[in-house]
Amino acid sequence: MGLETQAAALAAIRRTDQQLAQMRQALDDYQNLLANNDSCVEADRRFHLLIAEATGNVCFTEIMQHLGSAMIPRTRVNAAERGAVDLSKLGQLANLEHEAVLNAIKREDPDAARAAMWLHLTNSRDRFSL
């Protein structure tokens, strides 16, 4: 959580317009996949990786690449254990939080980006803990 919250803060300061557009596309892809009931794990992972890249610090990017999809809590969800829980509703909540992170990065507000990422990661952990 410390890594990604700091990455979001740095991305708010250092991101380029092109990186911002790529983050926007990742979230649009996420929403479209979710709407079609398709897996949005790749778009989710890409959004978080793009934030790491926007820090301008290769160490953030390398760590996030190493973590891969393991950093996305829903990849560890066993559907049989979740029962009838609608994961698409949880995905919608996660994407609202993604939007808050993106908006803070767009506004170049590192404190808001850090706080939005902290909230997203905390909520994601809680949503997908069994």
Question: 1-36 pLDDT, tens per residue?
Answer: 889 999 999 999 999 999 999 999 999 999 999 999
Question: 77-88 pLDDT, tens per residue?
Answer: 444 444 555 668
The pTM assigned to this predicted structure is: 0.86
Average pLDDT for 37-45: 89
Domains, the chain: 2-128 (1.20.120.530)
Question: 63-81 pLDDT, tens per residue?
Answer: 988 886 556 555 444 444 4
Q: What single-letter amino acid sits at 23?
A: M
List own/partner pairs for 88-91 with CB under 8 A and 24 or more apart.
88/34, 88/37, 90/127, 90/128, 91/30, 91/34, 91/40
